[in-house]
A and B are shown apart, each in its own frame.
Chain A
């Protein structure tokens, strides 16, 4: 239960002996929770003259806002792009399993698919609050089919589309109703893209540039039309060139609307992006970096060969290959692994690493008042981490939803 009339009577929880991430710093402070939200203890003390109903000792650990994954294609054998009869169960399974990675909210991602798949799958994945059942669904991320043929990567060529004919109507016809959609990745060099970007933005849908051969100018124009995100920077776009930086150049462009922050997803699994490239991006524009897993269904399946839909995949540690080859098949590094790798590769502060996985994705989606933060009034979705940033426990709405084996009494 969040907020509402019963909130004032609800139990007050005080998490003590911890460091919390607040205002970009790790502070030695207690975290107070009531009615599923972060509570201001000063108001409680002076206005209600109350103390906590329950104190929980956090053993000196770090409390950070729960991680938010805005690009995840499936996991644990589940493929979000498959039009099964019971899509909901698959989403629920992933939602529950990623709690152990510290993820409290996510955007199930669908790769390029035929319209029938979208029409079947999209309505079955509604926005949903998180809880003991699993991480919350913030909305869908539709990556494709309106992308560049040349930069399609692993997306099936047969199902690529354009909106040449009827612009936004083409998009609607492909996806169906957009109620459950939160992010759309498209290539801005496609004709009529600006119209489409503007339409999507007006409907509160975040537009991301990716799988594209756009040059910097085209990318900047797309941002002016409303685009706010870049899908997995460096991958599936033109490489940085000193006379035409392409989409990568958005990080330091001076031709963007005043006050607008461009966000960009990075897969920090140690494989998809060379650490040096990760550092370049981070140093150029640290405020916009959003850690994503872009995880494939092989996430969490363990080493060995797995059959996923039409593909045979070989998992070896943190890398997944197309079986029998050295071709990367997609990412399988969990979000907390990405956070740790990001911290180690960039040498950034713990605070920065944590914000890249929580605050920045929340800001991208305009949710920073309630998610990705431990400010008063925000949803009490947080993770308990040890000093090496391993997840010890996960909380949603102030309720314990996952706990590490060692931490269980």
Chain B
């Protein structure tokens, strides 16, 4: 596991964004080589706060992705399980997920894999836990009765199949979940803990999210920054590939160390 601790929410966001960008550039995608980015799913369509609206306004409209290359689980499908199975097939067809980016709930869930979800589960319909319904109430004018109680979600097993997993955790209210996820054992009550058994995980968090961790853990992962020959600041235990600069696309063609 890599645990990246930044001071504030905005820095954690920026770090994660740059990491994703670097990974895509490094991967060098093309017409026959898809960089498949996985993201957790959610609310039903046709709702102003629907996941489609969320993805459009926060991601798709800012980039030049072709609609054909976006796949969102359809909560209004006639046969929900068939929809889920088809989604798994589409992931396989695209060559598997290269990088899955997600957050965790206060109850330690990844996507909507609520406490008690099988750690080898696949994409399916899930009943939401009260914690999640409460957390989502803000999208429905605070009215609990309006919050959907079911959701389609990728499974823990589905995410485990991704070649790399990045989890974003910010805020003190997530601190306990982070503690359970990385300092305690693998437990289906805290489904994020499953990633302890994934070969390539990155947890990105802010200071507040580390509040429940041992000082020892935090110190280990927050090794003092060092400056390399080129004046780029990096932490020693990143263990990640060399940094790519903003105009990295051209440098990616060369043999690329920076």
Residues of A at the B interface (CB closer than 8 Å) are 29-30, 41-42, 45-46, 48-51
Contacts and interface: CB of A to CB of B under 8 A. Distances in A.
Nearest to B61: A41
A305 to B, nearest CB: 55
A41 B60 CA distance: 10
B53 A45 contact: no
A50 B53 contact: no
Interface in B45-69: 52-53, 56-57, 60-61, 64, 66-68
B59 to A, nearest CB: 11
Contacts of B53: 42
25 contacts: A29-B61, A30-B61, A41-B56, A41-B61, A42-B52, A42-B53, A42-B56, A42-B57, A42-B61, A45-B56, A45-B60, A45-B61, A45-B67, A45-B70, A46-B52, A46-B56, A46-B67, A46-B72, A48-B67, A49-B67, A49-B68, A50-B67, A51-B64, A51-B66, A51-B67
The 6 closest A-B pairs by CB, nearest first: A49-B67, A42-B56, A45-B67, A46-B52, A49-B68, A51-B66
A51 B68 CA distance: 10
Interface residues of B, number: 12
Report whether over half of chain B's contact residues are helix, strand or loop; otherwise say mixed.
helix
A29 B56 CA distance: 12
A102 B67 CA distance: 35
Interface of B: 52-53, 56-57, 60-61, 64, 66-68, 70, 72
Nearest to B67: A49
A55 to B, nearest CB: 9
Contacts of B72: 46
Contacts, number: 25
Contacts of A51: 64, 66-67
Nearest to B68: A49
A149 B82 CA distance: 79
A18 to B, nearest CB: 13
Contacts of A48: 67
A48 B57 CA distance: 17
Nearest to A41: B61
A12 to B, nearest CB: 12
B120 to A, nearest CB: 31
A366 B252 CA distance: 57
A50 B66 CA distance: 8
Contacts of B68: 49
Nearest to A50: B67
A17 to B, nearest CB: 12
Nearest to A40: B56
Nearest to B66: A51
Given A30-B61, A45-B60, A50-B67, 12 more contacts: A29-B61, A41-B56, A41-B61, A42-B52, A42-B56, A45-B56, A45-B67, A46-B52, A46-B67, A46-B72, A48-B67, A49-B67
B69 to A, nearest CB: 10
Contacts of A41: 56, 61
Nearest to A42: B56
Contacts of B56: 41-42, 45-46
Contacts of B70: 45
Contacts of A49: 67-68
A49 B60 CA distance: 12
A185 B64 CA distance: 52
A157 B68 CA distance: 70
Contacts of B60: 45
